[in-house]
Structure 1
Amino acid sequence: MRHVPFFRWVLTLGVVLFACSVGLDSVRSELPEARQIDLSVVDEKPDGTCRVRWVDPYQKKVREAPYHCDAGRADSLKAPQYFDHRGYGWESGFMITEGPDRGNLEDLTAEPDLGASGVLLLLGVPLIGVGLIGGNLRALPRVMGVRAGLVRRATRLSEAAAWAAEDYERALAAVREAEHRALPSRASGGTPDPRLVTALWALREAGPQARETAALARALADRTHALLHYAAPAAGLRTMLRAGPSARLNAEGALNDLRWLLADAERNGLPERFAQTSVDLLRGQESDQATLAAQADYTRNPDAYHALLAQLTGPEPESRPRATPARRAPQRYGRR
């Protein structure tokens, strides 16, 4: 079951509504132009309710209408303190200069009409808030489940184990490919196949423990590869956010097993052991120095090469390397 991005859709809807509100507001006709004029306050109440007079240049007459004055303005602007031979006070206002209402005073106390853009804005902003807060709260447990460092360490261990196993199998394959050219006996005094001698020399350099190390490396690589498959969502923030509940549960169990395997491998020095085995086996790659070293070593101790060849080409003995103990994977693995 994949993660359902509910809050992401809520956030998207809120952003769409907000964008529609902005679009409608931008295409809506602007308020008519107005200019500030002086008003004569004929009568005024303590709460600011008043009647004012002004000169309407469009109708070319003096007009009078109710208005809401600023009750908190200075007393020197109010009657009778204000210097006016008619005994009126003073106030300022805005007169509309265009449209059918030109010459009228602009009513600053009127409640603005929200309209469609305002309704969309009131709906969009809460949805954006819910989407952001809810999405972050929902993502918090998934973000805390990211263990990128642990996954990287397990990946490096798996790669080192796989390389050690592959290098041993490559060296063993080189011996078997040249098997038809057997080493000459000491009595015959023949010249051995350089490729066979070089491959055997590489295995001798790796030591008798190379077979056990390679078997252990292959088992550990297979084990960690399976666990890394289930732990993949925990490798990064993006993958963890996209994972569903089932995948996150599998990743948590796989991380626990990987943590235990890494601790056991590092305690036993397996990373260094795998790396050293790979280095020793890679010395047998076809090169003049490796061939000369192999021929010199074969000349000094041919019996050891005969014994090693017989051991490698004979029946495969039952080997039981000391593998890193692996706990049984939780039953939830593989459940989707």
Structure 2
Amino acid sequence: MKKCKENDGDGKVSDTTIIPGLPNEIALDCLARIPGLMHRKFTRVSRSWKTLLTSNTLNWNASPGLPTNYVYVNLLFSIGDQRFFAWNLEDRACLPLPAFPTNLTCAKFVVSRGRLFSIGGLINSANSADVWAYDPCVNKWESVASLKLARYEPAVVSIGGKIYVMGGGVGGDLSDWAEVYDPEVGAWTSLSIPCWHFFGDVFCRDSAVVNGKLYGMCYGGLGFIFDPISSSITIVSSEAYESSPCENIHTLFSTWNKLNQKTAVVKGILFAYFDGKIRGYDFDHNRWLPLQGTGKRLRNGMSKASLVNVEDKLCVIRKNANTIIFACLDILKIPGILRCNVLWCHSEASSGRPWSIDACVSLAESGS
């Protein structure tokens, strides 16, 4: 069996096996599949692991990308001072991602093809077309192709591995109001959707992917549904009126328009926090249903929580003083009823500096 050399600490060099029971060739391939953001944790296993993980020996192309069982939370400490943290919600491991390479605010974030993307935003109060991708293989942010239209606070989702961007604070020429990015090609393409005159220079409150379609809720009461297959868009008003082209789904947008927290889609249901309860929108019957079984801890004081899908589980995240509260719910869908099992609920201490939760994303939301 091929072995590695390791210094035993007293000047002597001894042979060692990287992973007991595995040939070193296979062990090296296993180590290469550890995402870069987790390296600091695994360097504590042994000196040989630390040497390998900090060297150029491994084939980093074998890495599968971002871990699926993590939620990626962007904490905002002050204007231009923000940092992403990766939380493994099961074993409570917290791993900081590298700091942003630029002084950026009001960007939107999405995960696509195993990478975390930062889209647009503001730099020194000016609209930005910058797009950054966090690559877990090398554990750093890399600049990728810029947007055609500089913007901040747009609707951003990933469907089928492609990133769709619509609206936001844009100004100027709105012919590129909607764009799509293919990570495999590395370029943005304008979408010919003659709808920008409905929205103008409007920020997106929230967006989600339901059954392969982009649902967006803008400030001002207008919403939209975009179908990437037909490249068509339907404008929906949150106010009821007879000529509404989507009158049957008015209930969704009229409530969504009142929410400030992030929604999440789990098992085809859009979940949101309002009226002191988690509720899910039943698309089959066009109505909101209360989520039963959440318990007192999730009902009390959780009105400002953000929701995120992690491995088809509904995760609840909120700030409480200087801690972050996480909860994981297993959703049970019964005709006409939404129930859940609370798998766990715990708190994590955060920085002593003033902070707020700016964004929460996960691999499950990528729609890939």
TM-score, normalised to structure 2, is 0.16
Q: Which structure is higher in strand share?
A: 2
Q: Which structure is higher in helix share?
A: 1
TM-score, normalised to structure 1, is 0.18
- Greater relative CO (CA pairs within 8 A, separation 6+): 1
